[in-house]
Structures are given as structure tokens and as C-alpha cells.
Amino acid sequence: MLEIGTRSGGSALLMLRVLEMMYRGEGRPPTVLTVDPYGARPIEGASFVYDERFYRAMKRNLAGFANHVHYMMDSELFLRELDNLYVWGDGAKRPLNRFTLVYLDGSHDPEIVWFEIERLLPRVIPGGFLIVDDTDWFGGETRRRLEAAAPQFDVQVSHHGKQSLVEV
């Protein structure tokens, strides 16, 4: 599982808790990767600054989960380096090249989100999902692009409030 845009860690915490419940006594739960650069920067389309308070909150919320790995970088750098990244599990290197769930909630700038979608959708396993948050921002441009590209990607797209769900 991969989340881009971790903020305080609320969504990742939900994923980690669900996995913990599902795998209780049944082995090690899958790894949840989170990506967020943090730092004092403005948020596109919002009136507040994203500062170190969110990083501290994320560390507090997710510190107890051994199956959580955080990459403190923006999505552009993460996606450029993704083929070089791996985790160790059961005594072996495991590439980070396939995901059952990808949750995009970082930048909401339509160009950045589309860059993420184009690079991550091919890495979602059949039967998996890509969720894009706040697709109603920026006049719904990302939502419209997803609808138009669904046949090309051979996926099903549905919208639920402010989120778009892509079923692979």
C-alpha cells in the first residue's frame, strides 16, 4: 500500500490498523509506504502553511507500526527513485514495484496529480485500487481527465464525494 500526502498520518493510521486486525495471528501484515516532503510550504488551493507540526503528528501516530515506512520527499523525487527502492522482508530484498492500494492525497495541482496517476496506475495489481482525494478541487480537472482516460487505461472510475476511485 502506498499513500502520497501523509500530513498527520490519519489515512495511513487507518490502513495500518485495518491490516493489523486482518493479519492478527496470521503473519506479518503488508508494508504501508507513505510519502510527504513536509517543511514550511504553502498548500495549493488552501490558505495554510504545511509545517513541521504535521510531521511530528505523523511520527507520533505511526511510530508503533513496524510495517510502516515513510519517505520524506516529494512525489516527483519518489516516483523517479521508485525503481531503486526496496524493503527487506523475510530475509530477502523486495522491490517496491507493485501495490494493491494507492492513495493520492498530496498536491492537488492537476498536473502533479496526473503525473502521479500516469506513473502509479500501471503498478497497481489487477483487482487493486487507486484513490485520488479532492478531485473536485481546481474545477474538477483531475476528475474529468480520469473519466476521459478510463478506457485507455482499461479501468473503472467512480466518484464518491470529493474522492475518485479507480478500480484496476
Structure confidence by residue, pLDDT tens digits, 84-106 = 999 887 899 989 889 999 999 99
> DSSP class of residue 5?
-
Contact, 11 vs 18, CB < 8 A? no
Structure confidence by residue, pLDDT tens digits, 92-143 = 998 988 999 999 999 999 999 999 999 999 999 999 999 999 999 999 999 9
Q: Where are the alpha helices (DSSP H) in the chain?
A: 10-22, 52-62, 75-81, 110-120, 141-153
Residue 31 pLDDT greater than 70, yes or no: yes
The domain made up of 2-167 has a fold known as Rossmann fold (3.40.50)
Q: pTM for the complete prediction?
A: 0.91
Structure confidence by residue, pLDDT tens digits, 44-74 = 666 777 778 888 999 999 999 999 999 999 9
Contact, 41 vs 49, CB < 8 A? yes
Residues 6+ apart with CB under 8 A from 143: 135, 136, 159, 164
Q: What pLDDT was estimated at residue 45?
A: 67
Residue 77 pLDDT greater than 70, yes or no: yes
- Reading phi first (left if > 0) and then psi (alpha if -120 to 50, else beta), residue 116 is in alpha
Q: How is residue 118 written as a grid cell?
A: 500516469
